[in-house]
Structure 1
Amino acid sequence: MSTLLLIDGSNYLFRAYHGLPPLSTSTGEPTGAMRGFLGMLGRVQGMVKPDRAVVVFDAPGKNFRHAMYPEYKANRPPMPDDLRVQIEPLQKVLPDLGWPLLVVPGVEADDVIATLAQKGRAEGMKIVIATGDKDMAQLVDENVTLLNTMNTKFYDRDGVIEKYGVPPERIIDYLALMGDKVDNVPGIEKCGEKTAAKWIAQFGSLDEIKRRADEVKGKIGENLRKGLPFLDEARKLVTIKNDCELPVSGLADLDFRTPSAEALRAFARRWEMSNETILRALPPGMRARVKTALEAPNESPHEAGVTGSLFDLGELDAMPAPVPVPGDTPRKTAVEPAAAPQAVDVGTAERVARLQGAIGASEAGDAPDEVPFTRVEDPLQLADFAARLADASAKSEFPAGIALHFEGDCRHARLAGVAVALSPKDVTLVLASESLPAEAIAAGLSAWFASDAPKVFHDAKTMLHVLAAAGVPVEGRVDDTMLMDYVVEAHVKHELPKLAARYLARTIPERDVVFGKGAKRKVWTDVPREEVEKLLAEEAAAVRAISSVLGSVLHADEVLWPIYDEIERPLLKVLFRMENTGVAVDGFLLARESEELGVRIDALEAEAERVAGTAFNLSSPKQLGKILFEDLKLPVLKKTPSGTPSTDEDVLTELALDYPLPKIVLEHRRLTKLRSTYLEKLPRMADPVDGRVHTTFGQATAVTGRLASSDPNLQNIPVRTEEGRRVREAFVAERGSVIVSADYSQVELRIMAHLSKDRGLLDAFARGEDIHRSTAAEVFGRPIEAVTPDERRMAKVINFGLIYGMSAFGLAQNLGIDRRVAANYIDAYFTRYPGVKRYMDEMRALAHEQGFVETVFGRRLWIPDIKSGRKPVQAAAERAAINAPMQGTAADVIKKAMIVVDAWLRERKLGARLVLQVHDELILEVPEGEVELVKTEVPKLMREAADLDVPLIAEVGSGESWEAAH
């Protein structure tokens, strides 16, 4: 028996919209519903494996039910704008994917599906209806099954009875009794699912219920009798029509069609979706035949708004370098867009198109299938290549694009191959071999890497580590396409294949595809050599071409260019040196602290067992949930998506106010996490060569510009607790040196004063007052000298809470006070500091208007969720719009400080070294003889890193450990 799949497209669309976060393109256009919908298509066709199918959407406008009952669906809120704009492109791409589509005016999707199901029955087909709408259960019979989109379960007749308590033939009666709040169909007041099912089981049918309504006692009986006049109307409204006139001649019209790879490529580029997203949504049996065509070089780049791939630029080799050599001042070049990218409505593709047009993109040729490259296979060819590089670099200011392949951790990497692109079509590569081992490659190219020749990498910091491990120093100007893209659009992903697709309209190989990942990752020598060569050649050519585009985008923007050229680009070498240096850790101290913490953890487990009355695993949410909510009968505050009571931190924190066991569990979680994350893990992460811990600084991670720390993450050590401070005690200096800590004081509040221009805050900082004491005096209306420690603590919460967008409810929770009192505190704060309120309002409005806000230095902080139709998401975006300029400016300030401090240390040829950066703090390891000099000069350099309307203050301390330096 063949299978007909009928998909309730409207239901799927809303499920996708509400089931995913508000995803968007790099220019802020919403795509979450489309992405979710395409993913759901792939799942449902894989589960059903249909012979025929159709996706059915509700048509816009009214239908026959509105004529029956004018109030039908009258209470529905308008469709969110960020969902509405996704409907047209989604419906347009479905036929391109090969899926039949129906949108029939005057009837609903339910009625179209019922009519098609009736036709399928007549032809003896098995019918699966994919929907989350309970109304559809009335269609189930021996031929028709429902596939519920919410739990991916199939429902036959028995399944409907199990789920709803009534058989499919009584679903109409069941719905009429309950009514439908979503569609504004009145039912019997207070009659829910259980009552409706009970009455049908008792009386048999709606007609019998009407006839014997007097037998129903109590208030619910009164409600039944009061609602009797509308029951027949309600029954008509919830009955699905199965005899609609449809624009199909027969079920043959529901055969899958041949997908259009050309149209799908255009869709993927336009909406910035991966080929895999598209392939998953294809009908059964279509993936293999479309995959090759979809991943083939683009034959019509104009469809994406791109005038041609940069691999085809006829004038690229001759163009002047858009990135100046050291010492140059930013200048306009011949490569200049019509206007700098200032607003969210100017998309990346449009900017690239203008740039490519400006530099003379070839209109005639398509992107070649492969990048042409020259192999270097012996020492003589390597020497010739090195000489050619030196000659080419002397003649051109434009950086050479470089791609490396290596095995292992980057700091201990084994170099395997190098590819250099002097232009996108002039690529030379060398892979290690018996005749040309890695050591010979490194030695042969070392002089060029150490020269003043400009170079560009993708993720340059990692590449510098790889070359350093091979004994190859890198000098001259170093650019980084990852950082270029990060400055232009921090909120998107910056992997090289994504940049190639975005800026070059080109698909290049992905390393995880070529080599595999995780446990399945292959050693490069186990991969066909031609695949490795193609990967490196494509990467080097892409880096060279992308740097041309992004260099021009940045150079044409007098605000963004300094962010890249004066902050991010010089910082990468500072971070490279810091990562190489690492920090010493006392493993014995950590081991002792781990043992002590283990005793406390054991005691907590014993106490939890005593309170619970039984032994259980405190780390098991399932066992903990049973103890809390079944055995101890504690109130259920929240449920997980699967419907079980939640035991997350928020729930336990609230329960801990009244019950002992949640408090014990929270403390157990805190200590076990600290122990496993730092006390046990840090000693194992020490480098076997130098015994030091080397964190990795993520420079292109946070949209605010903040640096991230990973492997290990040293920014999350809980310094407010005694246990966390003891972890910092383990970060020590080598013998003969001490740790110096220089920490900006209240930098975000100072930035708030600068941004808001609030006279009260500016004056308080100018007078050098304790800002929290000053705020307490203002909010509580008392002389500053009369402020109590408790009032200062509350003012500190208000100061920091408001810059993070804390509401009166949040402030009340934080301070443990009544919500109305908290609201009064906030009102008093804004009365005393009206500039702060004005700033917050302006930032919200600016984010809505242009999609981004800016730091003091001009870094763009994109807020894509500001366009969300979901109020909680939009509210969070508005809070981010208020806080991001402060966080982002603080990030810029500390980065500028790192650059000047590092330059001063190197210029003075001191032994002191920057070893860590954590939030607003710099940590240095300093020889004992240099301590006083460093403690005097570093705070001064940090103060001078930025010129704000309020003074920057850096507090400095020293000691044998990081903690002792505070």
Structure 2
Amino acid sequence: MSDSKPPFILVDGSSYLFRAFHGMPPMSNSKGQETHAIYGVVNMLKSLLKTYNPTHIGVIFDAKGKTFRDDIYPEYKANRPPMPDELRSQIAPLHEIIKAMGLPLIVEPNVEADDVIGTLTKRATALGMHSLVSTGDKDMAQLVDDHVTLINTMTNTIMDVAGVLEKFGVGPELIIDYLALKGDKVDNIPGVPGVGDKTAVGLLNGIGGINEIYENLDKIASLEFRGAKTMAKKMVEHEANARLSYELATIVIDLPLDYSPDTLTVQPEDKAALSELFQEYEFKRWYSEASGQNFTPKSTTPVTSEPSTTQDTAETSATAAGDAPVILPKQPPIDRERYTVVYTEEALQHWLQKCQNAPLFAIDTETTSVNYMEAELVGISLCVGPNDACYIPVGHDYPDAPDQLDRDLVLQTFKALLENPKPQKIGHNIKYDKNVLANYDVHLQGVAFDTMLESYVLNSVGTKHNMDALAAHYLGHETIHYEDIAGKGAKQLTFNQIGLAEAAPYAAEDADITYRLHQVLWPQLVAANELANVASKIEIPLSGVLARMEQNGVHIDSQKLAQHSQALAQRILELETDVHEMAGEAFNLGSPKQLQTILFEKLNLPVIKKTPKGAPSTSEEVLQELALNYPLPKAIMEYRGLSKLKNTYTDKLPKMLHHRTMRVHTSYQQAVAATGRLSSTDPNLQNIPIRNAEGRKVRQAFVARPGYKIVAADYSQIELRIMAHLSNDPGLVYAFSHDIDVHKATAAEVFGVALEDVTTEQRRSSKAINFGLIYGMSAFGLAKQLNIPRADAAHYIETYFERYPGVKRYMETTREQAKATGYVKTVFGRRLYLPEITSSNGARRAGAERAAINAPMQGTAADIIKLSMIAVDEWVQTQNSDDILLLMQVHDELVFEIKEQKVDEYLSTIKSLMENAVSLSVPLIVEVDVGNNWDEAH
């Protein structure tokens, strides 16, 4: 390491946070706030700064939530206990202090701190910088080379290339292999059973890395370590685990970070902020150093909130897309002591006036249930500015609860304001609040913003979109969690049972956080103009449409479902008997282990795929493939499908009828699917099978009221039409523009026959090609689907691209753009981020490349159906409410209930509104059908 130039220091903040928490004696300030982890990490940072006087540094922490490794192996780190509350409470203050010290703080979602550090070391090396990684994590040894050194400041030891070899017995280039063979009990990485330090070192030094070991299994027996003679067999048996462990242990070194080592510079300390923080947490010596004064305890009333990461000066934040920095408005620290509780009519009028005079205010409801149809209003919280928030309790009914304002009085007082389009309102998942208020005949208008949807539009895969996660991610603030005041499990209290001393700060904070999140999120959406439009023109207006649909509900025939349920039960019993006969013994069809024994040990069926632990898989995908050739897995598949149908729909739906409406009311989720598609829960109306008779019988139970009809309007081949628009391929555009059967047209091109000579089989094959290619299907996948030789499938695909060169060009361009920017876009500008697009893991990268092709089409289709819903709903609101109801949205389909006398009149309007909701280079076609039930109308 050069003495003349300080190293680029990378601090593994998460590693030191845990080590400080568990390794230092407990400390707390006079208010009971635990502080020893904060002290340990800050002390380490101060020591590093003093020793190396760096100009460039990054302090990296793990983000909350799961990472891509959890997706690869759900049991990853499953052995780790949940983070203690005493540690969690120290994270936000620690982050605040680090930022005030002028040190760049980095928290990247979906990856671990190790991966960020790995990527930055490689970028630093490319810039000619030497990196010093401060960590206690042995996994980091894989990063060590001539330009990267590790330091453990708790033991004050340096580890270079020679140090890695001395400590582990292998060089840095074999550390991943070493970890993969040994496994890791702490991270629950399986490794190879029976392989310890000496065996791993013996294998690696005797043969080489894992790939070399598996290429030279015959050499293992001659190696000089205990158990060498039987180790080859173990390696073969546990190959899947070894390779999985290698993937889990590999630190990513090519994350698409939108900052560079040379931009991570040490900034001047914010001495005022440090003085405040050190005084708050009672670090006396550090307070004196920062303030130049002797330490005195804070004389102000103690506050219960952790410091916010937002400072008293304006912040600069890069948008999620990596665009030009956005200047965010300054926000004061969160101070729950400033929240008020409204008990009197005078205070109620005061808050009514404040909201009337504010250009924008946040609103949140507290209720007895997450089910909007069952929820009773317990209180309302409002916020007109940072810390300027209140809670209006109306329904707390625990023993000795204080007197509260009458619910009807509060709602009547605020009704005109809430139903007035001005001032603008903001909420977090405000669709829920809109539904709750509608149950009390208050119809919320003027909803301008929704922070859940703002976060979702900004980056649908960036972080979770619940308020707690967003407050931590964007504000660095640990909110009061519901479990903190209500408890957990069966004894959890409903909100009306919670004392106002705990309930009021929780509720008012929700409104305050919502207001603040909008101040942070909206400027970033505006900076990427298209994203602001997606939020304001699509998602936020749609939430009102969905609220009305949810309120409408759908009528079902319970008797028909009961009859179907009985028939399913009979068929399920028959299948169980058949399966037992085929197996030659009775066993539990719901047990993967018992099924595994029957299929692969007793019947010796081929093993298609293995679990991460090396056992033969009995997943649905495996059973589907086996079912093509073997009767028992085919019967199992039918058994599973019918059992799911019975348990999820025929048994459950009648129990979900609401007592007041006698209809079923689903919840539409806007901020779940990465591509922008809606999902439906409780019940899921979008997952009822349509390709089999049993699923269609469930749809037959979705019926219209007497005197009404069910009308279904469905976009035809919408994703293929979007492909034609995006690729601008002349052949596809011509086919759709001239109303030619596109599958026939493709068949004519691929098979070299006249359009009129295309056979049914050729059309079926071309349909598989058309849809397969937009989902990234390979020649292998197409061959499997059509049951043809792989060479034939490859020829079909090659011919397809020759005939439709625009499609191939679009695919290649899209993949390149995705790699360059990290995202793809829909026609309307929605961004669909692909974190794995530059992954070093080939399988994950290939998956992201397939998604890059399909996501713009699926996302554009989602945007189109949303825009058509907004247009249709706007028209529906002008009609007699008793004549037409918009009931359901299922992917590309809208379902209505229309008075019989109005059906003919309304059909053409619905079709026209949907077909003209947007303008593409090819026409959109909507097919509309009518019936007494959903199945008849589809």
TM over 0.5: yes
Other-structure match for 1:945:
917
| Cα distance in 1, alignment partners of residues 449 and 909 from structure 2 | 30
SS at 2:877 equivalent = helix
Task: Map Cα deviations across residues 910-962 of structure 1 (whole Å, 9 max, x no partner).
Answer: 52010000010010000011100111110011111010000010000101001
- Tell me, yes or no, if structure 1 residue 772 matches structure 2 residue 743: yes
SS at 1:907 equivalent = coil
SS at 1:963 equivalent = helix
Aligned pair partner of 1:427 in 389, 411, 425: 389
Aligned pair partner of 1:104 in 136, 154, 159: 159
Q: How much has 1:835 moved relative to structure 2? A: 0.3
Other-structure match for 1:271:
none
The one-letter amino acid of 1:921's match is E
Task: Map Cα deviations across residues 109-154 of structure 1 (whole Å, 9 max, x no partner).
Answer: 3632689xxxxxxxxxxxxxx99948999xxxxxxxx975576899
The two structures have a TM-score, normalised by structure 2, of 0.72
Other-structure match for 1:367:
333
Q: How much has 1:512 moved relative to structure 2? A: 3.6
| Cα distance in 1, alignment partners of residues 736 and 225 from structure 2 | 68
Other-structure match for 1:644:
615
> Aligned pair count?
750
- Tell me, yes or no, if structure 1 residue 444 matches structure 2 residue 416: no
Q: How much has 1:780 moved relative to structure 2? A: 0.5
Other-structure match for 2:835:
864
SS at 1:688 equivalent = coil
Q: Structure 1 residues 848 and 881, CA, compared in 2 at 3 Å: closer, same or farther?
A: same
Q: How much has 1:421 moved relative to structure 2? A: 1.1
Q: How much has 1:38 moved relative to structure 2? A: 12
Q: Structure 1 residues 446 and 491, CA, compared in 2 at 3 Å: closer, same or farther?
A: same
- Tell me, yes or no, if structure 1 residue 407 matches structure 2 residue 345: no
Aligned pair partner of 2:209 in 164, 168, 181: 181
Other-structure match for 1:297:
306
The one-letter amino acid of 1:736's match is G
**Partners of 2:723 and 2:857 within 8 A in 1:** yes
Aligned pair partner of 1:886 in 857, 861, 873: 857
| Cα distance in 2, alignment partners of residues 712 and 578 from structure 1 | 14
Other-structure match for 2:119:
85
Other-structure match for 2:342:
376
Aligned pair partner of 1:720 in 645, 667, 691: 691
Aligned pair partner of 2:847 in 876, 882, 889: 876
Note the residue ranges of structure 2 that are not aligned, 5 or more in a row.
1-11, 17-60, 85-113, 123-130, 138-150, 234-269, 275-301, 395-401
SS at 1:416 equivalent = strand
SS at 1:735 equivalent = coil
Q: How much has 1:610 moved relative to structure 2? A: 1.2
Q: Structure 1 residues 949 and 153, CA, compared in 2 at 3 Å: closer, same or farther?
A: closer
Q: Structure 1 residues 148 and 111, CA, compared in 2 at 3 Å: closer, same or farther?
A: farther
Q: How much has 1:849 moved relative to structure 2? A: 0.5
**Partners of 2:885 and 2:898 within 8 A in 1:** yes
**Partners of 1:176 and 1:187 within 8 A in 2:** no
Q: Structure 1 residues 45 and 958, CA, compared in 2 at 3 Å: closer, same or farther?
A: closer
Question: Structure 2 matches for 1:127-526, cutoff 5 A?
Answer: 133=178, 148=185, 163=194, 175=203, 179-182=207-210, 190-192=218-220, 297-298=306-307, 301=310, 307=313, 341=319, 344-346=321-323, 351=326, 354-356=327-329, 361=330, 367-370=333-336, 372-386=338-352, 388-389=353-354, 392-393=355-356, 395-396=357-358, 398-408=359-369, 409-432=371-394, 433-452=402-421, 453-492=423-462, 493-526=464-497
| Cα distance in 1, alignment partners of residues 793 and 62 from structure 2 | 36
| Cα distance in 2, alignment partners of residues 592 and 172 from structure 1 | 62
Q: Structure 1 residues 589 and 424, CA, compared in 2 at 3 Å: closer, same or farther?
A: same
The one-letter amino acid of 2:365's match is L
Other-structure match for 1:621:
592
- Tell me, yes or no, if structure 1 residue 671 matches structure 2 residue 642: yes
SS at 2:381 equivalent = strand
| Cα distance in 2, alignment partners of residues 686 and 44 from structure 1 | 38
Q: Which has the larger radius of gyration?
A: 1
SS at 1:412 equivalent = coil
| Cα distance in 2, alignment partners of residues 97 and 948 from structure 1 | 59
| Cα distance in 2, alignment partners of residues 593 and 879 from structure 1 | 40
Task: Map Cα deviations across residues 679-737 of structure 1 (whole Å, 9 max, x no partner).
Answer: 11111112122111111111111121111111111111111111111111111101110
Other-structure match for 1:662:
633
Q: How much has 1:650 moved relative to structure 2? A: 2.1
Note the residue ranges of structure 1 that are not aligned, 5 or more in a row.
1-8, 14-22, 47-79, 116-129, 138-145, 155-159, 207-219, 221-261, 267-292, 310-336
SS at 1:410 equivalent = coil
**Partners of 1:728 and 1:961 within 8 A in 2:** yes
**Partners of 1:110 and 1:136 within 8 A in 2:** no
Q: Structure 1 residues 603 and 540, CA, compared in 2 at 3 Å: closer, same or farther?
A: same
The one-letter amino acid of 1:298's match is P
SS at 2:379 equivalent = strand
Other-structure match for 1:917:
889
SS at 2:218 equivalent = coil
The two structures have a TM-score, normalised by structure 1, of 0.70
Q: Structure 1 residues 431 and 944, CA, compared in 2 at 3 Å: closer, same or farther?
A: same
% of aligned pairs identical?
A: 38
| Cα distance in 2, alignment partners of residues 650 and 37 from structure 1 | 21
**Partners of 1:624 and 1:647 within 8 A in 2:** yes
Question: Structure 2 matches for 1:806-845, cutoff 5 A?
Answer: 806-845=777-816
Q: How much has 1:628 moved relative to structure 2? A: 1.4
Other-structure match for 2:42:
none
**Partners of 2:907 and 2:928 within 8 A in 1:** yes
**Partners of 1:400 and 1:454 within 8 A in 2:** yes
| Cα distance in 2, alignment partners of residues 608 and 495 from structure 1 | 45
Other-structure match for 1:926:
898
The one-letter amino acid of 1:404's match is T
The one-letter amino acid of 2:897's match is E
| Cα distance in 2, alignment partners of residues 192 and 650 from structure 1 | 36
The one-letter amino acid of 2:194's match is K
| Cα distance in 1, alignment partners of residues 598 and 771 from structure 2 | 37
